[in-house]
Amino acid sequence: MASLEENVLVAIFLLIITLLLLIPCTAIKLCCVAFRKTKRTIHCQCSVCVRSGKYRKSIAKRISNFSTCCNLTLLLFWIFVAVLVFYINYLRLERPQFEPYSILGLEQGASDSEIKKAYRRLSIMYHPDKNPDPEAHKHFVEFISKAYQALTDPVSRSNYAIYGHPDGRQGFHVGVALPQFLLNFGGASGGVILLGVVGIGILLPLIAAVVYLSRSSKYSGNYVMHNTLSAYDNLMKSSLAPRKVLNVLIKASEYMEIPARRSDDEPLQKLFHAVRNELKLDPKNIKAEQAKFWKQHPALIKAELLIQAQLTRETAALPSYLRVDFRRVMELAPRLLEELFKISVMPRSPDAHGWLRPAIGVIELSQCIIQAVPLSARKAAGGSTEGIAPFLQLPHFSEDIVQKIALKQVHTLQDLQEMNLPERAALLTEAAGLSGPQENDVESVLEMMPTLTVELTCETEGEQEIQEGDLVTLCAWVTLRRRNGLTVALPHAPNFPFPKEENFWLLLADPASNEVWVSQKLNFSDEPAAAGAASAAVREAKEAAGASAKEVGAAVKEAVGKVKAGSRLVVGKFLAPSEGSYELCCFCLCDAWIGCDWKSSLTLKVQKRRLPEEEAVEEEEEPEEEDEDYESEYSDDDDDDDEQVQSKKAAKGKKSSGAD
């Protein structure tokens, strides 16, 4: 009986401790899920994207999304709680009930004489005077005596009838809900308690802290290794050509950790011959160039060839084990390219400016990787600065189709987009030879493509002109439009193995000096955050200009309306350079689409910094005009006042003519 009660107490203790920790954790997890900002992202519905299968939510993907470490831990603890509840109920049912007739070996309704005979018979067997066994004494006192009282004593019989026990209502048993061996502090039990306290209270938090610190010291906030960032920073140059960005990208430590196997040699050799034209090897010294290429680190060779396989769409021939490495390379590429872009625009020059040329190269490489378009296709041709690359991102398009529509005077993607629907349908079906469903796929992708417009101003606070050393504020409203009316959508990228969100960057740069003055990333997916940031920036600008509360409220309301309509406000600051006129360019770049970038020129005129004495002279001239108005308005004699004003004007005119 005592051991049964001890087991129940231990189970209750474990249940309470588990629920004290589990209920708050579960509540926090449910709140995070409930208030999580669900991004309504719509992907391309063309047949090519549907066949890719990366947007299909299979049962395995749903299970993998749920089976995170946190979710599985909570699930296991709730299973443990259910087992404890079942165990406690089981022990409660197993607790023996007090049955006096059964204890005395009688049937229900036995007479008093039969009860006395049974009691005497059992007393001879279990009475302490007859049986010295302690268990017999315990059984006699707790069961036989109480059973006899329950059937013969009126008070005990009444208690048994009401409470089920001759002693009446049973009180709670007070005890410590711990196993008995832990309560014995002598011997080995004390060591068990000490090890438990040290393990749970000291070692476990220490191990968790060591794991966290070791991981945080290895990776940055964007889950990119610090060694990778250091290598990118050392390799970044202001003159880095766009075609050389790939050589910097593959130097990431993440790519160096991809294992190199002997079984990779043969498929990589075949892949090398398939993409050799994209490697830009010197044809005059092709053998030496090939030997130099294969002397690189095996991880660098694999990373470059797998990226080239993506650019040239040669991934179908990859074996299964090499396809795993390919997916790893593609999974890391967007993250690494974003960090590489940040390093390129990081302030480096004496004027704290970044570099434009490598930044453009990183964006172009990102676009080609996402759309699986070779870098050679971006070579200017046929009146298009982007070459045929924008067309190759469309479904069912090839170089032959691009040549066919070029005969119809369609040389750029913009020419194709500006055509009306019947003309474009006729062009695609008749000239390009596409079928009806294929033409519908092209229309679907064209509707998904973003169109960017930017309204920007550069001004200094409280001044009409920009002088040397002034803090100039760049305000730009970037508006994104699509023909299907969406603001947020995943790009058409059937050859990229993972869903990829669009990222937009706004740059203000000086192409002549290859310097980036302002750079900022745009976020079109989080509308509430964008509305809050825009309203705060507009309110600050209006209050600094001395606007009234009504004007500030109207401006904030207008800004929030623009954000809801698909616009985002970008505010950047830079120091005005030396005196002169600067021909700047404003870029709005997308890392997922080719040919959808926005570019505009901006002329910035910077005046020479005026001396304080010159500003003081201008401030002194203004009160003189106010004094004249004061005299003319409040003079007692209007005639005398007119004569005084005319005489002052004449004297002033003589002074000015003498100065000339």
Residues 483-526 have pLDDT tens digits of: 888 888 889 999 999 988 999 999 999 999 999 999 999 988 88
**Cβ contacts of 562 within 8 Å, gap of 6 or more:** 477, 479, 534, 569
Q: What percent of the chain has pLDDT over 70?
A: 80
End-to-end CA gap in the chain: 120
Q: Determine the Cα–Cα distance for residues 249 and 336; give it in Å rounded to an integer.
A: 7
Average predicted confidence (pLDDT) for the chain: 81
Q: pLDDT tens-digit profile of 266-305?
A: 999 999 999 988 888 877 888 888 888 999 999 999 999 9
The C-alpha atoms of residue 533 and residue 527 are separated, in whole angstroms, by: 10
State the pairing for strand pair 598-607/466-467. parallel
> For residue 199, what are the CA distances in angstroms to 76, 184, 193, 196, 207?
21, 20, 10, 5, 10
Which of residues 568 and 286 earns the better pLDDT score? 568
Q: What residue segments make up the domains of the chain, in order of their start? A: 1-94, 100-163, 239-447, 451-606
CATH of domain 100-163: 1.10.287.110
CATH number of 451-606: 2.60.40.150
pLDDT digits (tens, 9 = 90+) for 622-638: 554 444 443 433 334 44
Q: How far apart are CA 140 and CA 631, in angstroms?
A: 124
pLDDT recorded at residue 178: 52
Domain 239-447 sits in CATH at 1.10.3380.10
* Residue bearing tokens 């208030």: 35
* pTM score above 0.75: no
Which own/partner pairs from 118-124 qualify as long-range (CB within 8 Å, at least 24 positions apart)? 119/144, 119/148
**Pairing state between β 471-481 and 354-355:** unpaired
What distance in Å separates the CA atoms of residue 192 and residue 352, rounded to the nearest whole number? Answer: 62
Alpha-carbon gap, residue 341 to 357, rounded angstroms = 11
pLDDT in tens, 340-391: 999 999 988 777 799 999 999 999 999 999 999 999 998 887 677 888 999 9
- DSSP state, 281? -
The first and second tokens of residue 382, run together, are 């046929």
- Segment 117-173, tens digit of pLDDT: 888 888 878 777 777 887 877 777 777 787 777 777 777 777 666 666 666 655 444
Note the pLDDT of residue 570.
Answer: 93
H or E stretch at 473: strand 471-481
pLDDT of 226 strictly over 60: yes
Question: pLDDT for 126-141, tens place per residue?
Answer: 777 777 887 877 777 7
pLDDT of residue 115: 79
Alpha carbon distance 426, 436 (integer Å) = 10
In this predicted structure, what is the pLDDT of residue 631?
41
Residue 130 amino acid letter: K
- Which range is least confidently modeled, 211-215, 410-414, 442-446, 470-474? 211-215
